[in-house]
Chains A and B, each alone.
Chain A
Amino acid sequence: MNERVSPVFPPAPWSVRTKRAARQAAMKSWLEGMVYLFPSLLLFGVFLFYPLGRTMYLSVFHTDYQGQPTEFAGLAHFVALLQDDSFWHSLKATILFAALTVPTTVAVSFGLALLVHETRKGIGIFRTIFASTMGMSVGVASVIWMFMYNPAIGIINRLLSAIGGVPVSWLLDQDTALYAVAAATIWMNIGLTFLLLLAGLQNIDPSLYESARIAGMSYWRQLWTVTVPLLSPTLFFVTTVSLIQALQTFGQIDFLTKGGPVEATNVFVYAIYREAFVNYQFGSASAQAIVLFLIIALVTFLQFRFAERKVHYQ
């Protein structure tokens, strides 16, 4: 190296100052970051982490009707839950409800998405129609379906009797109530699921289809060799989202059946709601809420893990 460096090395105390300056800079950047995060962290703290902790806390206490803990209960609430038929019943109803709604919603939405994936004249109108149920709020959807299920004047029984069937009290019969609510739910949820799956389909590189066509693959073969594998992350995501949604079902139950008849539709969240805000058993309701949290956390966690692996796999 022939370059001469002029001798302006900084004096010794300076290097001490720079360390302090570096610390100050780190502190400043931390403060600035925190300013941006503060709203989120505060809100998560107050309305998510604190209440989650509080729910855990309440779940091991007996409470008064205002939700104040009165006496330590230990695991009594949980033990009582496990021994309570109605808890098991509610769990069963929830699982059945999920089993009825999730696969059907995903399958129907997938079919609809495939139908409008091809570009044809006027396809945009059909896309809008298929997505439209996303704009149906729980209240609107529920009152419409409630009327459709009306035993005397509802369209469903009208059609039934037109083809010679016997009228059914869809929402009042404990054998049909859950199925009836599930049908309404599927209709409500199709919009979002459809939209997500369509977006997933459109993310697939069209040249893959072109090369499949050149290779002479039939439509169904293309579906199995190109579409399904490439869409599988989306399908999986949509399934878990629907599953979590199903586990959290509340609105349509409150509208259509109020958990009845004879607890046939008393799904998890509805059971929690009743225990807490009708029976004022906050401790026991909290214990159930913790069970719900554990189930949903598990499902979400599995989704994360699986999705992560999928990304590597691609």
Chain B
Amino acid sequence: MRAARATAHYVLLCLCSVVILFPVAYALLMSLMDGAAILSGRLWPENWTLVNYEAAFQQAPLGRYLWNSFFVAFMITLGRLIVSSLAAFAFVFLRFPGRDRWFYICIATMLVPWEATVIPNFLTIQALGWTNHYVGLIVPFWAMAFGIFLLRQQFKQIPHELYEAAQLSGIGNFRFFCRVVLPLSKTSLVTLAVYSFLDAWNMYLWPLLVTNDDRVRTVQIGLKQLQTQEIASSWGVVMAAAVIAMLPTLLLLFAGQKQLRKGLMQGAIQ
């Protein structure tokens, strides 16, 4: 009885995995076929080939796109960690007039969808001359209410006595922040980092608006370019590019999945 249930459970798990993994596997298989095989509609390659990967790197500056995406996502993540943790620290540990009011203002920003502000933001970036520059892709995303909120929840778990002990021994606020608060909040910081990186890597509308130069375009826009240029003739190349583009985030997710699961809950439901 128990064994039968276990078997049924595993069968169900495998079925779901097949369905979920299918698009990825499909893309991978297509990327390893030559054009004729794809057009013939095969599912399993007869001759395994890497020509599509070579072509992907030759026909488009895919390496450049990947680097751009990586750099932009990395800088957004870094900036978010710094900006959010500073604000969260002030909200949890410092006592100053108007603190709660500022906190509500920060939380209120969750009400505003990015899309509702995108037009003036585009005009601002244009006026600043930041179009086709990394800064234009990075800086607007540094402040993040969710990040502040998540880290605030975490910082609140740190016993207040630690802060008082620090004050008594003359450990300044900034020193306490760097030497105690940040090391004690590793899980939440990693969570926020993974989440931010995926989020930034996934960004589409904004880079579409503020870049039209291969030197700064991200991989999402690169895929779009590739897809519009190529059409039917070389689907294999597009699939090869897609497989390459999914690797970094997939690896990050595999590495950070557990942390992400633990950390997200802290900020999400409290």
Question: A-side interface residues toward B, CB under 8 Å?
Answer: 26, 29-30, 32-34, 36-37, 39-44, 46-52, 54-55, 58, 66-67, 112, 115-116, 118, 120, 126-148, 150, 152-153, 155, 158, 187, 190-191, 195-196, 198-200, 202-203, 233-234, 237, 244, 247-248, 250-251, 254-255, 269, 272-273, 276-277, 282, 285-286, 289-290, 292-293, 296-297, 300-301, 307, 311
Which stretch of B45-53, B112-120, B162-170, B182-190 is in the interface?
B112-120
**Chain A nearest CB, measured from B44 CB (Å):** 12
Q: Are A155 and B119 in contact (CB under 8 A)?
A: no
Residues of A within 8 A of B220 (CB): 137-139, 251
Q: Is the CB of B86 within 8 A of A37?
A: yes
B102–A41 touching, CB < 8 Å: yes
Select one of A36, A293, A296 contacting B87, CB under 8 A.
A36
Whether B41 sits at the interface, judged by CB under 8 Å, is yes
Partner of A144, one of B112, B143, B205, B239: B239
B96: A residues at CB distance < 8 A? 26, 29-30, 32-34
Q: List 27 A-B contacts (CB under 8 A).
A: A30-B98, A32-B94, A37-B102, A39-B87, A39-B142, A40-B83, A47-B140, A54-B120, A54-B123, A55-B119, A67-B123, A115-B13, A129-B21, A131-B261, A137-B245, A137-B246, A147-B235, A150-B232, A158-B43, A187-B23, A195-B257, A200-B269, A237-B269, A276-B118, A289-B119, A296-B113, A301-B111
Cβ–Cβ contact B17 & A129, under 8 A: yes
Find the A residue at minimum CB distance from B235.
Answer: A147
Q: Which 6 A-B pairs have the closest CB atoms?
A: A33-B96, A43-B143, A51-B120, A36-B90, A51-B117, A54-B120
Contact check: which of A143, A145, A190, A195 meets B238 at CB < 8 Å?
A143
How many B residues are at the interface, by size bracket?
Answer: 35 or more
The answer to the question of B139 belonging to the interface, with a C-beta cut-off of 8 Å to chain A, is: yes
Q: Nearest B residue to A155 by beta-carbon distance?
A: B26
Contacts of B121 in A (CB 8 A): 47, 51
Return the contact of A148 from the options B26, B95, B118, B222 (Cβ within 8 A). Answer: B26
Q: Are A196 and B268 in contact (CB under 8 A)?
A: yes
Measured CA separation A293–B108 after assembly (Å): 12
Verify if B157 is at the interface (C-beta below 8 Å from A): no
Total A-B residue contacts, Cβ distance less than 8 Å? 279
Asked whether B238 lies within 8 Å of A147 as measured between CB atoms, the reply is: yes
Q: Do residues B99 and A147 form an inter-chain contact, with CB atoms below 8 A?
A: no
The residue in chain A whose Cβ has the minimal distance to the Cβ of B140 is A47
A199 touches B242 (CB 8 A): no
Residues of B at the A interface (CB closer than 8 Å) are 6, 9-10, 12-13, 16-17, 20-21, 23-24, 26-27, 30, 38-39, 41, 43, 82-84, 86-87, 89-90, 94-99, 102, 105-106, 109-124, 139-140, 142-143, 148, 173, 198, 201-202, 204-205, 208-209, 219-224, 227, 232, 235, 238-239, 241-242, 245-246, 249-254, 257, 260-262, 264-265, 268-270
Question: Are B90's CB and A300's CB within 8 A?
Answer: no
Max chain B Cβ within 10 angstroms of own Cβ: one of A44, A58, A135, A136: A135
CB-nearest residue of chain B relative to A124?
Answer: B258
CB distance from A275 to the nearest CB of B (A): 9
CB of A33 within 8 A of CB of B99, answer: yes
Minimal beta-carbon separation of B247 from chain A (angstroms): 9
Residue contact B27 to A147, C-beta cutoff 8 Å: yes
Q: How far is it, in angstroms, between the C-alpha of A136 and the C-alpha of B28 when the chains are bound?
A: 14
Shortest C-beta distance, A159 to chain B (Å), equals 10
Hey, which chain A residues are within 8 Å of B139, CB to CB?
43, 47
Q: Which chain B positions have C-beta within 8 A of A48?
A: 109, 112, 117, 143
| Given A143-B27, A143-B238, A153-B232, 12 extra CB contacts under 8 A | A26-B97, A39-B86, A44-B106, A47-B121, A48-B112, A66-B123, A135-B250, A140-B242, A199-B261, A199-B268, A272-B115, A292-B116
